[in-house]
Structure 1
Amino acid sequence: MLRALGGLGLLGARPACRPPALLLLPARGRKTRHDPPAKSKVGLLKTPPAVDPAECYVLMERYRQYRQTVSALRMEFVAEVRKKVHEARAGVLAERKAREDAAEHRELMAWNQAENQRLHELRKRRKTSSPQRTWRHGWRRRWTPRRATTGPSPGRGWWSGRSTGAPRVQ
């Protein structure tokens, strides 16, 4: 099927003078589980190599000592980390951090008060220094420019459909 598709030119163009290339290469390496054994290996029974009991005992003892040492080191490190966490939560470091946070909070609150005072003074100056602006009471309370006329004008107001803001300069 793949060779037929390759001959139709669907798998890529190749010169006509070359022989057709193998599209599926065999995999190299071990046999799969389903491949039959070779004829020379049919009756072969694999036996594991012999183990020296003394060498096995020495190796097992060394592995046991290694695991014991590593376990002790792990426990030591865990205890150290837990002690640091406890000190950070309830010890001297926590008290110092709480004091620093409180001091920073006080500084920020003082800065906020100063900024609020500065803006209040600025608004006061702006309010007293601007004679053109007056506070209008009514349906909407807002600062509006004072008009020259006192009566309703036909071009401005909610009845005219135009904005009641500042008069337009033409």
Structure 2
Amino acid sequence: MKELITPTTRLHTNWLEAHAEWGPGQHEDGFGLHPSDEVTSPTGFATWVARLLDQSDPAKSIDDGKSGCTYRWIVESDRVLGGIALRHGSSDYVLWAGHIGYGIRPSARRRGLATWALGRMLEEARMLGLDRVLAVCAVDNVASAKTIEQCGGVFEGVRDIRFGPARRYWIEL
């Protein structure tokens, strides 16, 4: 049974399997992974998970001035299938990157996991008091655009952001 869970060191090996599936040079949206994070050793992984949990406190800010962020992993029978992040507030970062970011490991795609996880995170956004969220995806990411639209996303337009042109959607809560 699939579930959204808080990041945990218990799934270190399972998370590394998912991470390896993305391959070198790729990044996994929704995991809050920075280039400087060392996740292969148990100590480095524990440090990274502790940072994610600390950032999930709505009263705290991320160290680079961004709003706090709630991280969840999409898991089925301890297999890490993906990650999703809900950024709190409306900082400049959120206004270009969006409130929601997610990624599904390649072998788990086309199963509706992103749509399911996004729906669950919208409930968490409501609990945080947000009345709408911004979701952003690359213009050529048709699967992500469909996911956002299935969850009520209303297309605002296309803007250039750090990774190139992106589609912007607002989801009313």
Q: TM-score range by the shorter chain?
A: under 0.3
TM-score (norm 1): 0.15
Higher share of residues assigned strand: 2
Give the structure, 1 or 2, with the largest relative contact order (CA under 8 Å, sep 6 or more). Answer: 2
TM-score (norm 2): 0.15
Mark the structure with the bigger radius of gyration: 1
